[in-house]
Amino acid sequence: MLPLPRLARIASLGLLVGLATLQAEFSHGQTDGAADGGDSTATATAMQAADRQREQRREFQSQELMLAKSGGWIFKPGETPRVLWRDIETVRRLGCNEPLRVRWFDAELNESPEPDAPGRWLASIEGTAPNGTPVRRLRTFYALPEQLPASLLPDLTIAFPHLSTSRVPEVVREHEAEIVRLANDALVQTVFGNEQGAVLVAGLTEIESLGRPARYIESTIVRNDDVQLALKLKLQGLQDKLRALRPPRHLDQPAPRLREGSPAEADVASDAKASIDAVCHAWAEASGEPFVTLVARHGVIITHEAFGQDAKGQPIDRDYRCWVASITKTVTAILFSQFLDQRLIDLDDSLGTVFPDYQHHDANVPTFRQCLTHTSGLSGHGELGDMHTAHLENIVLNGIDVNEPGVKYAYCGLGFELVAKAMEIVTGKSAARLYDEQLFRPLEFGDVRMGNASSSGEFTAIELGILAQWMLNRGSYGTRQFIRPETFERLLPQPLRVADRGYTAEEGIGIHWQRHLKPGASRDSKRDEDLLFGPNSLGHGSFSGCVFFIDPDQELVVVQVRKQSGPDNAEWSPKFFQTVAEVISD
């Protein structure tokens, strides 16, 4: 049988031929110009049909699962939850008529006809998508013991300390008891009424006390990722195909690390720190948005200071941890570069070389390079899921027959999430553990939260600074070499490989060229002499206003973390970079 994508292309070709033939018969004896018009009509009709099919595939990919009874994610044994499509009429209209099949597995991954004992249960849900590919989903449930131990019944009462203040309307104060009761009932319903509640309860019953606050890597979310990945590998027969990612190599001659030092060691003006801090103080005061700035040259920190106050009016400190938005993509690219360096995955490998349900030589399946350079044909940031979605690659597969990689550039986070899922499949370790073991711990980071692989990392300024210095060192930091310099060169921006010749920009693997212009330079200037910094400057932008900038020519690192850009960012950001440029010695 021909692959579905090929069948779709043949069907489209048949439609074109048929429409063209009918048009030729209808216009017999007319001018050649009229015939050309008929061809155009047939082409337009075929394009409209293709667009409709893409819309239908996307509509199916966005379909959600639900339970027949509310509150069934945490249930009593004997009351097996029933999983079904939330919008079954739409699912059927889109061509998915087969019923879902559910298999149950306990915390030890043993299969059972039904969840018949207390504890964590995983539901492996299977079906067939309208494009003929398998539907695979995993969901976590928790079965209650007959009698809950007192230790598992904490007081979850929500307090509202401000309801009794004079600022609250009198009628609200008079009904405070009702409001508190409603809020607490809603909390219980929330825990029982969604999968996250089951993940939380299952994890809390399995994890031993730490004697301290849990780090993100010790969270019930990451534990759930581990368990779901283990079942996924088992069901797809991948346990014996795993390959280990080796730790960083040891360097006898250490690469530069960020350190304290004098202006002379950094080769900057003696008042460099004062000048940079002054503009940052003014920026924070004018915008009302706090941030932390770190600037370093030759590995020597010029300034690392916190500016502004938080929402409570308290000065922030240098450990201020912030959402860095799309700089998260750079972090994922750095982790992936180790797979590239150790030849576990190549940039031009198809996703089909890793995901077993994908066809190896299907033109609709993107390569890893395309996923990391926004030319995969995919779109979106989280609409279909992220690295915590067990079968994210399957959701993409359910619409792969209409995907067109390499045609145009479209900024997208989904490609990075798929890369994270591929790294899981290769190593058998959840993405969160790979970040922690292969990157964050070797670099001595704090409690980093990776909400996803493309836009939800949370970092401090020193952590971003270390990653920037890693790039400046071409893949090394201190005594650890994460990748070889020649591998780092493969990450640098190069012309995009797209069919759309109207787009000629260059794109790197999680990084871009960065051009900061001198005052007075034309906004569209391409001249190196109009640049504040070297022409090889790299970095990545951030919706939250965070800064990640490296100038290899001047061995310069500039990073900044903040919760949001704040007002007048377009005015203050150039002032900040101009000040940094001015204090650098020639």
DSSP-derived secondary structure for 158-202: PP-TTTTSTTS-HHHHHTHHHHHHHHHHHHHHHHHHSHHHHHHHH
- Determine, yes or no, domain membership for 85: yes
Q: Say if CB 404 and CB 57 are below 8 A apart.
A: no
Q: Say if CB 79 and CB 100 are below 8 A apart.
A: no
- Determine, yes or no, domain membership for 457: no
The predicted structure's pLDDT at residue 46:
80
Residues 178 and 80 in one domain: yes
**3-class DSSP assignment, residue 300:** strand
- Domain span at residue 51? 4-61
Residues 46 and 99 in one domain: no
Residues 159 and 57 in one domain: no
Q: The tokens 């010790």 sit on which residue?
A: 218
**Taking Cα atoms as reference points, which of 19, 201, 39, 234 lies closest to residue 120?**
201
Residues 95 and 79 in one domain: yes
pTM: 0.89
The predicted structure's pLDDT at residue 180:
79
- Determine, yes or no, domain membership for 462: no
**Tens digit of each residue's pLDDT, the chain (586 residues):** 334 343 343 344 343 334 333 333 333 344 444 446 667 787 888 888 889 999 999 999 999 999 999 889 999 988 999 999 999 999 999 999 889 999 999 999 999 999 999 999 999 999 999 999 999 999 999 999 987 655 555 566 666 766 767 777 888 777 878 877 887 777 777 777 899 999 999 999 999 999 999 999 999 999 999 999 999 999 999 999 999 999 999 999 999 999 999 999 999 999 999 999 999 999 999 999 999 999 999 999 999 999 999 988 999 999 999 999 999 999 999 999 999 999 999 999 999 999 999 998 899 999 999 999 999 999 999 899 999 999 999 999 999 999 999 999 999 999 999 999 999 999 999 999 999 999 999 999 999 999 999 999 999 999 999 999 999 999 999 999 999 999 999 999 999 988 876 776 899 999 999 999 988 888 888 888 889 999 999 999 999 999 999 999 999 999 999 999 988 898 999 999 999 999 986 5
- Determine, yes or no, domain membership for 438: no
- Determine, yes or no, domain membership for 116: yes
The predicted structure's pLDDT at residue 184:
77
Q: Say if CB 551 and CB 298 are below 8 A apart.
A: no
From 23, 42, 61, the end of a domain falls on 61
In whole angstroms, give the CA distance from residue 468 to residue 172. Answer: 51
Residues 140 and 29 in one domain: no
Residues 75 and 202 in one domain: yes
Q: Say if CB 74 and CB 192 are below 8 A apart.
A: yes
- Determine, yes or no, domain membership for 16: yes
The predicted structure's pLDDT at residue 155:
61
Residues 38 and 139 in one domain: no
In whole angstroms, give the CA distance from residue 439 to residue 429. Answer: 14
Q: Say if CB 367 and CB 348 are below 8 A apart.
A: yes
The predicted structure's pLDDT at residue 377:
96
The predicted structure's pLDDT at residue 54:
93
Residues 24 and 57 in one domain: yes
- Determine, yes or no, domain membership for 52: yes
Residue 134, both tokens: 């398998």
From 184, 206, 228, the end of a domain falls on 206
**Taking Cα atoms as reference points, which of 293, 228, 295, 224 lies closest to residue 261?**
295
Provide the number of structural domains found in the chain: 2
Residues 183 and 74 in one domain: yes
Element (H, E) at 562: strand 556-562
- Determine, yes or no, domain membership for 72: yes
**Taking Cα atoms as reference points, which of 238, 243, 232, 239 lies closest to residue 109?**
232
Beta bridge partner(s), residue 66: 84
In order of 386, 495, 497, 526, the CA distances from 501 in angstroms are 31, 11, 9, 20
The predicted structure's pLDDT at residue 100:
96
Task: Please state the three-class secondary structure of 51-65 as a single string.
Answer: HHHHHHHHHHHCCCE
Residues 156 and 144 in one domain: yes
Residues 181 and 70 in one domain: yes
Residues 47 and 178 in one domain: no
**Taking Cα atoms as reference points, which of 337, 244, 323, 246 lies closest to residue 291?**
323
Element (H, E) at 47: helix 32-61
The predicted structure's pLDDT at residue 5:
40
The predicted structure's pLDDT at residue 36:
61
The predicted structure's pLDDT at residue 232:
98
The predicted structure's pLDDT at residue 372:
98
From 61, 78, 106, the end of a domain falls on 61
